[in-house]
Amino acid sequence: MARLGFLVLGALALPAAARADERVVTVHLGVGIPDLLGGSVSLTALRPFELEVGGATGILYNTAFARAGAGLPFYDGRGEDGRGWLVEGLALGGYRYLDQAYWTGDFEKHGAELDVAAEVSWWLAPHFALDAQILGGGGLWIGSEADGGVAFFMDGRVTVGVGF
């Protein structure tokens, strides 16, 4: 039990120990497939690990997702003042829920997904960055109330956001 407490305290202290130019949270808004218009919030204080939750809406559905993964920096052009460019690659996996209740009947879908992303951040101040991300991948709808089958879905989006 003492080890678990030590790990929790270490994880909570990690954001405080991060460099001044490391982001803690990133907020994105974007468009894509199956997310016609959506948003997400990512906890990035535990780099290289990232946790993301989000939701979106489309003409015929609402969707929500939770993903976790790791980031790999490809280019870090930030100076000592924390300003400059940062380019990262991400690999994320998680869960997606879709509620298709508007026009085609009331049913739900649940799925697992895997995605890769490229993210470019322009750090304007030690704790403020403009961010752009392109993400692609896909997953499997594990089942639904409509047909109970397994089906592939594509996942792709382009987002802009801010990092703090």
Amino acid at 99: D
Question: In the chain, at which residue ranges do the beta strands (DSSP E only) sit?
Answer: 25-33, 37-43, 49-57, 62-76, 84-100, 107-125, 128-144, 151-163
Contact 93, 113 (CB under 8 A): yes
How far is the C-alpha of 104 from the C-alpha of 120, rounded, in Å?
Answer: 38
Q: What is the pTM of this model?
A: 0.80
Higher pLDDT, 60 or 145: 60
Look at residue 41 and tell me whether its pLDDT is greater than 50.
yes
pLDDT at 15: 42
| Domain boundaries 2-163, CATH class | mainly beta
For residue range 129-138, list pLDDT tens digits in order: 999 999 999 9
Identify the three-state secondary structure at position 4: helix
For residue range 92-132, list pLDDT tens digits in order: 999 999 887 665 666 788 899 999 999 999 999 888 999 99
Find which of 28-32, 60-64, 76-80 is predicted with most confidence, using mean pLDDT: 28-32
Look at residue 76 and tell me whether its pLDDT is greater than 60.
yes
Look at residue 2 and tell me whether its pLDDT is greater than 70.
no
Give the start-to-end residue ranges of the domains of the chain. 2-163
